[in-house]
Amino acid sequence: MDVWEGFFLPYPHPPTPPYNTQLYKLMHASVDAYRRESTPIVSTAAPALHPAGSLRYVATIGSDAGNDCINPVMPCATIAHAVSEANPGDTLDLADGTYNESSLVITKAVNIQGQGVVVQ
């Protein structure tokens, strides 16, 4: 059996006589109709890994290594790393604790929230 346009056919394509002309035309018309109706809409824009407005988690017991700060169970350790991973419009959720970040510079429009946080 040959594979033709995703259909398994009991004869080689193009079919050689003798074959059922009406059946061949019907199958060919069905494939054309399928192509017209199922043409996918393809976007050329790359999807954002994390949409703007994502929550980024930071805790003194976290880790920065290979961490995008999105998973609340695996927070980042430093505010600076969370800022570097953040997109404009993201919110940094800081767990209570003392963060030693004397050279912290925030150059993105991010929101920062948390209680019991000390940054020194």
Render pLDDT for 11-56 as a digit per residue (tens, 0 to 9).
Answer: 455 555 555 666 656 665 665 665 666 555 555 555 556 666 889 9
Q: Quick check: is 59 in a domain? A: yes
Q: Quick check: is 17 in a domain? A: yes
For residue range 68-87, list pLDDT tens digits in order: 999 999 999 999 999 999 99
Check pLDDT > 60 for residue 91: yes
DSSP 76: B
| Side chain identity at residue 49, one-letter code | L
Q: Alpha-carbon dihedral of residues 55, 58, 64, 67, nearest 10 degrees?
A: -20
Q: How many domains does the chain have?
A: 2
Check pLDDT > 70 for residue 1: no
Check pLDDT > 80 for residue 5: no
DSSP 52: T
Q: Quick check: is 44 in a domain? A: no
64 lies in the same domain as 29: no
Q: Identify the pLDDT of residue 53.
A: 80
